[in-house]
Structure 1
Amino acid sequence: MKSSLDLALIGNSSFAALVDRSARIVWGCMPRFDSDPVFCSLLGNSDGAPPHGFWDVELEGLVASEQRYLPNTAVLVTQLRDGAGNAVEVVDFAPRFRHYGRMYRPIQLVRQIRPLSGTPRIRVRLRPAQDYGATQPTTTRGSNHLRFVMPDLTLRLTTDAPISYVSDEVPFVLETPLSFILGPDESLTQSVAGIAREFLENTENYWRDWVRGLSIPFEWQEAVIRAAITLKLSAYEETGAIIAAVTTSIPEAAGTERNWDYRFCWLRDSYYVVQALNWLGATRTMESYLFYITNLVAGWDGGDLQPVFGIAQEARLDERTVEHLPGYRGMGPVRVGNHAYTQIQNDGYGSVILATTQAFFDQRIAHPGTDSLFERLERIGERGVALWDQPDAGLWELRNSKAVHTYSSVLCWAGCDRLARIARHLGKVDRARHWAAQAERIREGIIAQAWNEELGSFTQSFGGSDPDASLLLLPSLGFISAEDPRFVGTLAFVEKELRRGNHLFRYAKDEFGVPDNSFNICTFWYIDALAQVGRSEEARALFEEMLMCRNAAGLLSEDLDPETKELWGNFPQTYSMVGLINSAMRLSRSWEDAF
């Protein structure tokens, strides 16, 4: 079966899994986002070994399937039909609801299967994997359960289906609804069907209540709600971290080795994620994420601030390749860990300050910014002052080349600018004056060295001539107004060099050559820039087209083939969903204007 990113996401902010259109779970790491995948068939299997790393419900004679989320929830419903009129429905979710005054979010998958019409004949195949698909766990059997024993995890499947049929993968006629609960190795205290029903009802109610509390635009509500739920599912609630994507090693384009492990938390994303959560009014998730960021600030030793951390603040993310998984459609290597943690990326100093600024000005936050936090941020700001004109790997993590990247320098400026604002807010007049002066000095230096008079544009690096999509963020960051002729010229240069059809590339080339696919967040940046310069109708048209590029579940990956519209890159990409939210909020008509 050819792998595809036409997948739906389920989870509960402890772990997540991906389900394909035929109700096969093809990816899922337990007990954390960055754990060894129990389900890994998305990235293939060892040559000659029995296929494993999936959980499917196979309907004999399958000819059609339909998939949808229950409205305003993370509960997935898949309907399977054969050629004789027989049909089944599969409901998939991870429990999440308030229980005894706390959030109940176990490492647990619930599947309910029920006949819809006729006498459907199905086969249930549960084949977990371990050690990134190298082997299968030891299986033991009880009267109504199966246990899968792995070195660091033991899972128990409890079901009211005939356990022999599940264990031996025997096809059978589905006459009555069946329930399956895969989770910790614990006995259930009630019937499996009763628990599944109760958990489903409670989980539905949780998500609908959560969505009811969101601030959403008048237009494109369904898209924004799905993006918001996806962002929530990408949050590791235990620490507040938000991962870049659920997967590893999905290539950015066919045949490229641009395929990294994205199951970690990048500082570069922090400001834009906080911005989206603030737009949505998702205060608790935003506050938890800020708590994660401020903990990183508290633990910073004053040296180079690494650009990416693990979901529990792990600093070492050593990268290795997995030989026994061939990769997405055989396009390896499959990578675990990310060597980018060792890179010098000077935009991180400003990113942390920009994100944390919210804590000083938002009265909804239970633990607002303090003098102590400000002093820690000042230390980070001073580091940005020292490095604003020094070469780095840049926002796009170029692995084999360095330059003084304009975006990194602008983020160092932005950090100083926000520190001045925070200082004024705290009544620290002298510090406000200090940081404002630093910001102005850096700004003048950037304009002098990143502006290319011949091109009439800012460029990717100091003294350079290459375009970069990140330059479209200059107005949003407050560095220059959208009406400034220098930004209008930059926009014209970027769209001339990087636009392909209605989509935008990150840059013209890197050490791997010329990119093959557009980068979805950059297209949203382009849409925002068009709106800021008054080209609103064009921006709206491009936004509508981006909505059409989402998969059937309403999700986006990192990259997109501008010709075929096929999704590529790690999935679902938090950055892409954040871009969708921010663009929708910017472009939507108001409720008042709509009537």
Structure 2
Amino acid sequence: MPGRIEDYALIGDLQTAALVGTDGSIDWLCVPRFDSASVFGALLGDHENGMWRLAPTAGAGGSGGCARRAYRGDTLVLDTVWETPTGSVKVTDFMPQRDKAPDVVRIVEGLTGEVAMRSELALRFDYGSVVPWVRRTDHHRVAIAGPDSVWLRTDPPLHTYGRDMRTFSDFTVAAGDTIAFVLTWHPSHEKRPRRVDPYQALQQSLDDWEQWSAQFRYDGPWRDAVLRSLITLKALTYAPSGGIAAAATTSLPEEIGGVRNWDYRFCWLRDAALTLNALISCGFLDEARAWRDWLLRAVAGNPADLQIMYGIAGERRLPEYEVPWLSGYEGSAPVRVGNAAAGQLQLDVYGEVLDSLFLARDRGLKDEVHVWNLQRALMEFLETKWREPDEGLWEVRGPRRHFVHSKVMAWVAADRAVRTVEASPKLRGDVGRWRSMRAQVHAEVCEKGYDAERNTFTQYYGSKELDAATLLIPQVGFLPSSDRRVHGTVEAVRRELDNGGFVRRYSPDSGGVDGLPGSEGAFLACSFWLADALHGTGRTDEATELFEKLLGLRNDVGLLSEEWDPVAGRLLGNFPQAFSHIGLVNTALTLSGRQKGRC
């Protein structure tokens, strides 16, 4: 059985990522990209769906966890230490930034005494459905099925044997001994992959990450938490394109045993402004520029065809289907691959795109003529569409509605277009028409999206339900934090959407706004938004207290998923979740006085 979500740590090579459990088992790895099929899929089923456990033999058949683990310095190199009755041992896991093929390197080092170790490898291609043919060649074990091959090598060579369609290595390490394993995926029709020196690769990986982290510019009280979140965002980056995956996983549930299980291995446009803000504010201009360029390539074309999400290289087709042979995380089925929400109408993304490009220009990233032409085209389309209902920020799979957040972001689009022309006389546009649209949207939202009796903005026009996304109203500049309607909304959300001291996305009794049965946990990004809103309304002590509570939800290596179950006291949803880590960074910057929102 897989571990708890919080039991996993992330390693990656900036093109894909693996999850390593406290028991030494890699239970999730998709190759060669984040959105490829898995070769280790035990996370969404059991060990027969693929895993690689490397740990002391005494715990090889059980759930014995490590004594401690941590990332080495400001890197993505993971050290895991076991203490046994006969001695102690360390396993170092990492994925070097690749030359061509993805590699997983695991180095075993004896610390004290002698420790009996076991490597147990079960390779299962195509999301755990295909058992490969395994053969031995020149100190390698080679597994092949269809287009995939995986090569396993040890240094020094170890005796390996097969049993129950798995590959085992039993060995003993004494203090000072080191034994390295290198696992490489490679297209099966090509010649054998290049051999990797595991020890050189370790030093190079440490150097690469330390060099990158040295650009970090933040001297506030939450330095380590902020940098770890930024390292996580970097790890979720698909380096060839600059796109950032929302998470490394698919189908980790929002409710254990529930059906809200989605594939998050894609790039959402609405992450753009927050991601850019976080990266630029902390000194990472190259990543911000790459993300902006990915955004421009992805959205190029007819504005009517703008999607809310794209593949990590900008792909538009993300067909959704179920994988019935996987039982789901702790029985949470179905397991889904792809995401049908890519075809939804979500008007807020137009505001997110224009806001992110406005921010990039404001922060000094060089602009291009075609960038402004794209923004003008998006505005011309939005002018004809903003009055329509849509599926909204939370990607409802029920009827379209006039969501307040969507309208607010339409206002943001018009506002940023106007302000861009006002600040850049060389850029031309119909400012008068955009000013008129901005005023119309503002008036309509304040009339139809506001409940005067309760002094709060609602989820959609005519609704009594609440939506945590309305906490963003002051952050995007729609109303100032001092406005009584903002104060009322903050209080209403805090009171009615409370979930164990954190925040739900929307009202639990909303009748299934997403069209699906069941419930979910507290949404971590929304909880960070509440901290921002509390700070903006003058309650910085309360904001800081909430922020510290949110930091306490991170696992032992500083990672967050999408949601938190306050009853069971465990993480829920896909992991690690970029949106949660973006929220952490931006709230830390806000509370440290480093930024004042997105307006």
Q: Same fold (TM over 0.5)?
A: yes
- 1:318-467 → structure 2 map (5 Å cutoff): 318-363=319-364, 365=365, 368-427=366-425, 428=427, 431-467=430-466
Q: Offset of 1:420 from its aligned partner?
A: 1.1
Question: Per-residue displacement from partner, 1:36-71 (whole Å, max 9, x unpaired)?
Answer: 0111111114xxxx7241111131224551111001
CA contact (8 A) 2:184 2:193 kept: no
Q: Offset of 1:578 from its aligned partner?
A: 0.4
1:134 aligns to 2:129 (yes or no): yes
1:166/1:530 CA distance change after superposition, 3 Å = farther
Question: Per-residue displacement from partner, 1:113-145 (whole Å, max 9, x unpaired)?
Answer: 111222211111122211210122222211211
Decide which moves more: 1-10 or 463-472: 1-10
TM-score scaled by length of structure 1: 0.92
Supply the AA of the counterpart residue of 1:503: F
CA distance in 2, matches of 1:28, 1:178: 22
1:170/1:183 CA distance change after superposition, 3 Å = closer
Alignment-derived partner of residue 29 in structure 2:
28
SS in 1 for 2:39: strand
Structure 2: segments with no counterpart, 5+ residues: 595-599
SS in 1 for 2:89: strand
SS in 2 for 1:311: coil
CA contact (8 A) 1:3 1:328 kept: no
Decide which moves more: 573-582 or 2-11: 2-11
SS in 1 for 2:126: coil
CA distance in 1, matches of 2:422, 2:145: 55
1:326/1:253 CA distance change after superposition, 3 Å = same
Alignment-derived partner of residue 200 in structure 2:
198
Q: Offset of 1:86 from its aligned partner?
A: 2.1
Name segments (4+ residues, structure 1) moved above 6 Å: none
Q: Offset of 1:463 from its aligned partner?
A: 1.9
1:158 aligns to 2:153 (yes or no): yes
Q: Offset of 1:371 from its aligned partner?
A: 2.7
1:430/1:306 CA distance change after superposition, 3 Å = closer
CA contact (8 A) 2:101 2:193 kept: no
- 1:197-346 → structure 2 map (5 Å cutoff): 197-298=199-300, 300-346=301-347
CA contact (8 A) 1:317 1:337 kept: yes
1:54/1:165 CA distance change after superposition, 3 Å = same
CA distance in 1, matches of 2:161, 2:95: 21
CA contact (8 A) 2:241 2:294 kept: yes
Supply the AA of the counterpart residue of 2:133: T
Alignment-derived partner of residue 96 in structure 2:
95
CA contact (8 A) 2:130 2:145 kept: no
Aligned with residue 54 of structure 2, among 52, 57, 63: 57
SS in 2 for 1:330: coil
Identical-residue share of aligned pairs (%): 35
CA distance in 2, matches of 1:544, 1:263: 28
SS in 2 for 1:174: strand
CA contact (8 A) 1:251 1:568 kept: yes
CA contact (8 A) 2:13 2:96 kept: yes
1:429/1:377 CA distance change after superposition, 3 Å = closer
Alignment-derived partner of residue 597 in structure 2:
none
Decide which moves more: 391-400 or 153-162: 153-162
Alignment-derived partner of residue 593 in structure 1:
none
1:172 aligns to 2:167 (yes or no): no
1:529 aligns to 2:533 (yes or no): yes
1:170/1:30 CA distance change after superposition, 3 Å = closer
CA distance in 2, matches of 1:189, 1:230: 28
1:297/1:425 CA distance change after superposition, 3 Å = farther
SS in 1 for 2:125: coil
CA contact (8 A) 2:257 2:330 kept: no
Question: Per-residue displacement from partner, 1:335-383 (whole Å, max 9, x unpaired)?
Answer: 01111012111111111111122342333x3xx2223221211111122
CA distance in 2, matches of 1:171, 1:429: 70
CA contact (8 A) 1:156 1:182 kept: yes
CA contact (8 A) 2:458 2:465 kept: yes
Q: Offset of 1:513 from its aligned partner?
A: 4.9
How many residues matched?
572
Decide which moves more: 397-406 or 141-150: 141-150
CA contact (8 A) 1:308 1:341 kept: yes
SS in 2 for 1:115: strand
Alignment-derived partner of residue 142 in structure 2:
147
Decide which moves more: 455-464 or 424-433: 424-433
Q: Offset of 1:224 from its aligned partner?
A: 0.7
CA distance in 1, matches of 2:273, 2:429: 26
Q: Offset of 1:184 from its aligned partner?
A: 4.7
CA contact (8 A) 1:267 1:308 kept: yes
Alignment-derived partner of residue 8 in structure 2:
7
CA distance in 1, matches of 2:518, 2:552: 26
1:137/1:438 CA distance change after superposition, 3 Å = same
CA distance in 2, matches of 1:188, 1:342: 39
Question: Per-residue displacement from partner, 1:169-218 (whole Å, max 9, x unpaired)?
Answer: 1433224311111225566877x6xx211111111111112111112241
CA contact (8 A) 1:423 1:431 kept: no
CA RMSD after TM alignment: 1.9
CA contact (8 A) 2:280 2:363 kept: no
Alignment-derived partner of residue 481 in structure 2:
482
1:541 aligns to 2:522 (yes or no): no
CA distance in 1, matches of 2:375, 2:145: 43
